[in-house]
Structure 1
């Protein structure tokens, strides 16, 4: 299986911009109250942490005091500060975690809402597995950042700034020496941080590619096994997974080196400063309590810088994840609803018109799938579309649902251009039975009800009877409430097709699209379904893509396609008499089939 194209180097360079995290602002703003409360708790804990060394200083300086009561008060004050710190920290954790969970849930819903409405052209460029990876893996990263890293980063920034100010108040001399270390610490953070951002984006891209590869193989596992393709599939997945590991290894090594350098520089500098402070203590330039206070602040500031250097890496990864999610949210769909959609007229039930329609699939711009197609289907008319594979028959079905827009020309339903209506509006007037029936991992009843979610059980069962599905559904262990498995793996091809037909019957739409609807049925089931389809199509506009003689002969008109163009139109007898492409197809597909029967 070929790999889907992933983020280019140019795309990955975008992850140098940590400001990508601002893309989360629109999801946080609705919960600004919760966010402000979290920030307040965060500020409280930072301030309490900064006050604690002052209490320790008082205790140390009063160790030799004869007034035991003062010493007790200082110890009680220190205990009270510790209690405030515990409460504030717990409150901060509660608020930021709730905020993170809420925001990530909203992001997941927003991304899914966006991609579920994207036209098929979008999925020609990206694997569904990668989309799922972005919804799961990338949002998990963002949850980690919002629910933990950001609050820890803000707290450490406050401790860093406050600690430096209090260090300066405690000893200007020692603080000045500490500040000399800062440039040496910032340089590796900036230099290695740039490399880390690129590697973080690359790693996320490869994780998504790995997920896409696995999703593709597992969704077609029977085909993989039938063609004994397990070994190549394992090799392809192993290859992309190893690429992901190698990228992660480079990212982890870079981050480890950065962390080691920063921590060594910080604590080496503090060690030197303490050496000077110890000498000042001996000379009486500073008290023991002041030195202890300065040491604690130094450790707090050093810890804050070290924590920020580590959190910086997490923020960079989250920035890459945010970019990828924002890309999905901002992805431009080739098919757009108009700003002021026109309502579908109901005066004419199911008038379909193609006016000089030419169309190229986005992935094949040089090859016309349809070329100058003119087609008019009257209300209640049944039209069969026939022709060799790749002639454009299924493309007609897809374009009538506006999965794609024509390169030129117009497609009208009830006299209105599809591009002038909301897709959700006119699609309600269309029922589809696809060539490959789609069965969802639910019960048989809910699969049929998919065509009309508000339908009653009686209506569902009536549709199943009309599609010749009732008998086999009742024979299942739990009848209509039997679980049919992912993609209907517990059903035969014919059973899945009959459920798909029942779904279309239940929808009761004025336009019916049948794309090889009876291709997977046995002769007996086909006859039963054919009667149901004929009854269903009597007062509906019906477009049928079919090869079987019984289906095609019953059509009011047969349209013959070849090379994306209409090459003949007429009834079965008229087209056979013309002795053209249709007559040749009839001899090959129909006459021989009848002889075989």
Structure 2
């Protein structure tokens, strides 16, 4: 399926771009929906004639009753009933299958656009709001087919057929039906549309705000409890939820009012058709049985117009959802990537020359005309106060941010020509703000190396000083760690992150505070095992702990926005 390249470009255009490759399947769903509506119309239309005709035949005497052929219309009634049931079932299967396929492709498109933006391109986004857009907005755009396109197309196509059928009996009744369908199916949604657009926008803004605030509060629940601010947050959500409920209530009232107006138009049209049909019957243009047939046909015809106010509301939601997704997924990536660029090659040396960088919307530079060389196989300690720029080097190395000036080369290749996926094949990072997923220990380890063997898992666990801990667990590696590793201590979770980095077996290993939360003996054992295992691997260890530095070949201090020698070690030459 071909996805939209730059933008979803509004509700209808976004849907048609998104549906490339699925259009025959979606058209089949429309066909089944029309078949169901036509069968329902035929069922009621023919039933009206059959009942009225049978009544007239019964009143006409025994001879007329015997002459009345009830078999053929009764067969037609059964036929339409069976077609309606089958068509409705197939419509649900095909239409919802198409909508689910649209949703899957749309989520893949959104994720593909969001992934290259992280983290620099998402600094202005709130996590809860972004997740809400990824889930609810993609659902609303994908549902444009079932909730908007299908009802309006069905009403248009079937409405033409209904009017054509009426025209075969009496033109005035057909003209009146056409006028009624236009009023109910076009004018009413148009009148309700602006108010629906406004209320949908208010509802979406309130919902986004609630989702963002809720996600932030859950992530920082401990701090809110310590500050006794949790109850205040709950009261704030109640106020926000009340505002969203009010907008939803107004939307429901507006949609119900629109449906009620269509119902009034339906009965007015039916009454008008009844008058016209009676006059035509008196003039000998219609039989008596055809009068109730036409009236019931009007009621059946308006079945396709009744869902249109709700479809108009869904159209407003889909249009707003596409605008929100376009805003969250800008077409321009934060950095250009040169296609077909050479990959780094041995020796994997890092060379930083005259590098200057400041984070967006900040004044002070993190690095200013900084120079640094780290040779392959070196073990380097990177020290300095928090926020001084140690982690910024990794962000620049992976291209998450673009330097203001200067250059970074890795393995003889300018990193500006590489993407994060290219660098990930050469550099493994055990970040300070690592994340463990809600799964087992084995699941989290295999995320780093899906094809790792049992022996490889055992080796990295031994290096990370986790073997005894794993053996003490009743379920071993099948132990559930909870969301964000909640069932593990801080030191245990950090060592799992180190084991993940080791499993990848890359030429470079970056460790950000790897011994935080460990006691002195365990810290020494972990560092000794790491340097023994990674003797030929380049290690860059960012740390505040002096006990780690003797394991490094040299120490570099980040100071005054530059890299300066910070001393050596007594243990390594």
Short-chain TM bin? 0.7 to 0.9
Cα pair distance change 1:180/1:539, threshold 3 Å: closer
> What residue in structure 2 maps to residue 427 of structure 1?
424
Map 1:236-251 onto structure 2 (within 5 A): 236-251=236-251
After superposition, what is the alpha-carbon deviation per residue over 1:440-498, rounded to whole angstroms, capped at 9, x for unaligned?
22222332333322211111111111111111121122122211111111111111111
> What residue in structure 2 maps to residue 441 of structure 1?
438
> What residue in structure 2 maps to residue 418 of structure 1?
415
> What residue in structure 2 maps to residue 369 of structure 1?
366
> What residue in structure 2 maps to residue 396 of structure 1?
393
> What residue in structure 1 maps to residue 31 of structure 2?
40
Cα pair distance change 1:173/1:443, threshold 3 Å: closer
Residue 319 (structure 1) aligned with residue 324 (structure 2): no
> What residue in structure 2 maps to residue 3 of structure 1?
none
Shift of 1:30: 2.7
SS of structure 1 residue aligned to 2:499 = helix
Does structure 1 conserve the Cα–Cα contact (< 8 Å) formed by 2:355 and 2:403?
yes
SS of structure 2 residue aligned to 1:368 = coil
The structure 1 segments of at least 4 consecutive aligned residues displaced by more than 6 Å after TM superposition are none
SS of structure 1 residue aligned to 2:437 = coil
> What residue in structure 2 maps to residue 21 of structure 1?
12
After superposition, what is the alpha-carbon deviation per residue over 1:156-177, rounded to whole angstroms, capped at 9, x for unaligned?
3222221122223322223444
Does structure 2 conserve the Cα–Cα contact (< 8 Å) formed by 1:497 and 1:521?
no
Map 1:51-90 onto structure 2 (within 5 A): 51-52=42-43, 55-56=46-47, 59=50, 60-61=52-53, 63-64=56-57, 65-68=64-67, 70-90=69-89
Distance 2:362 2:46 in 1: 74
Residue 540 (structure 1) aligned with residue 537 (structure 2): yes
Cα pair distance change 1:191/1:361, threshold 3 Å: farther
Shift of 1:277: 4.0
Residue 565 (structure 1) aligned with residue 556 (structure 2): no
SS of structure 2 residue aligned to 1:569 = strand
Distance 2:303 2:332 in 1: 45
Normalising by structure 1, we get a TM-score of: 0.84
Higher alpha-carbon deviation: 400-409 or 25-34:
25-34
After superposition, what is the alpha-carbon deviation per residue over 1:508-555, rounded to whole angstroms, capped at 9, x for unaligned?
221121212212211121111121233245322222221221223443
Cα pair distance change 1:573/1:474, threshold 3 Å: closer
Name which of 355, 358, 361 aligns with 1:360: 358
After superposition, what is the alpha-carbon deviation per residue over 1:173-222, rounded to whole angstroms, capped at 9, x for unaligned?
23444555567554442232022123224423432332222222223333
> What residue in structure 2 maps to residue 595 of structure 1?
none
- Is there any run of 5+ residues in structure 2 with no aligned partner, and where? 1-6, 58-63
Shift of 1:417: 1.0
Distance 1:165 1:511 in 2: 75
SS of structure 2 residue aligned to 1:70 = coil
Name which of 451, 456, 467 aligns with 2:453: 456
Does structure 1 conserve the Cα–Cα contact (< 8 Å) formed by 2:553 and 2:568?
no
SS of structure 2 residue aligned to 1:543 = strand
> What residue in structure 1 maps to residue 349 of structure 2?
351
Higher alpha-carbon deviation: 418-427 or 27-36:
27-36
Cα pair distance change 1:316/1:454, threshold 3 Å: same
Distance 1:474 1:223 in 2: 34
Does structure 2 conserve the Cα–Cα contact (< 8 Å) formed by 1:444 and 1:473?
no
Does structure 1 conserve the Cα–Cα contact (< 8 Å) formed by 2:382 and 2:542?
yes
Distance 2:146 2:254 in 1: 25
SS of structure 1 residue aligned to 2:354 = strand
Does structure 2 conserve the Cα–Cα contact (< 8 Å) formed by 1:391 and 1:561?
yes
- Is there any run of 5+ residues in structure 1 with no aligned partner, and where? 1-13, 575-597
Distance 2:362 2:164 in 1: 64
> What residue in structure 1 maps to residue 468 of structure 2?
471
> What residue in structure 2 maps to residue 212 of structure 1?
212
Cα pair distance change 1:293/1:127, threshold 3 Å: same
Cα pair distance change 1:301/1:526, threshold 3 Å: same
Shift of 1:328: 4.5
Map 1:69-468 onto structure 2 (within 5 A): 70-142=69-141, 144-147=143-146, 150-179=149-178, 181=180, 185=184, 186-282=186-282, 284=284, 286-328=286-328, 331-345=331-345, 347-348=346-347, 350-362=348-360, 364-468=361-465
Distance 1:37 1:176 in 2: 30
Does structure 1 conserve the Cα–Cα contact (< 8 Å) formed by 2:181 and 2:302?
no
Distance 1:513 1:83 in 2: 68
After superposition, what is the alpha-carbon deviation per residue over 1:68-99, rounded to whole angstroms, capped at 9, x for unaligned?
46232222222222222222222222221222
Does structure 2 conserve the Cα–Cα contact (< 8 Å) formed by 1:21 and 1:322?
no
After superposition, what is the alpha-carbon deviation per residue over 1:361-398, rounded to whole angstroms, capped at 9, x for unaligned?
23x24342222221111122222222222211121122
Higher alpha-carbon deviation: 199-208 or 89-98:
199-208
Does structure 1 conserve the Cα–Cα contact (< 8 Å) formed by 2:45 and 2:294?
no
Shift of 1:32: 3.6
Distance 1:500 1:443 in 2: 14
How many residue pairs get aligned? The number is: 555
Does structure 1 conserve the Cα–Cα contact (< 8 Å) formed by 2:11 and 2:141?
no
Normalising by structure 2, we get a TM-score of: 0.88
Distance 2:530 2:73 in 1: 89
Distance 2:448 2:175 in 1: 74
SS of structure 2 residue aligned to 1:339 = coil
Cα pair distance change 1:258/1:46, threshold 3 Å: closer
Shift of 1:507: 2.1
Does structure 1 conserve the Cα–Cα contact (< 8 Å) formed by 2:378 and 2:553?
yes
SS of structure 1 residue aligned to 2:402 = coil
> What residue in structure 2 maps to residue 583 of structure 1?
none
Shift of 1:336: 4.5
> What residue in structure 2 maps to residue 585 of structure 1?
none
